Structure 1
Amino acid sequence: MSGAIEVAEQAVNNIESLLTDMFNGDYANNEVALGVLINGKEEIQVQLKITRAPEEFIDTEYNDWEDSIKQL
């Protein structure tokens, strides 16, 4: 497994606590660093950010739009 996948898998262990903290603190968003990837001499930090501020939503095309929307 690649280091990128290993770091990204940390999102699963963090998403619910980020949501809980965001709702309990009434924050617009919450984020956590999942890890650092090394590419030669360059460091890349992988982050998980959740936001309920529509102006911060990222424009994207989901492969399956209907499957991308879930209830909490």
Structure 2
Amino acid sequence: MSINKDFKIYEIIFIIIAIIFIVINCLGLFEVIYFTNNAQIIFQAIFLVSIGIAYIRKSKVVGVLFIIASILFITSIL
């Protein structure tokens, strides 16, 4: 089993977006910056969508599960 080490540019972009939003979410979690509950759920959903898009080429099932989880996060605040 070999590991595919070549990353597409969109994967790198979405991983960077995911890192940014997980840092923002952690700042809210540790109450460094105050966010409402809805804002934190949106940040978590953006994180999950970004990870899902980044990993959909590697493992379609995992990518789709991340995207479905983000949709469930968004519907939980509606």
TM-score (norm 2): 0.32
Higher relative contact order (CA 8 A, sep 6+): 2
TM-score (norm 1): 0.34
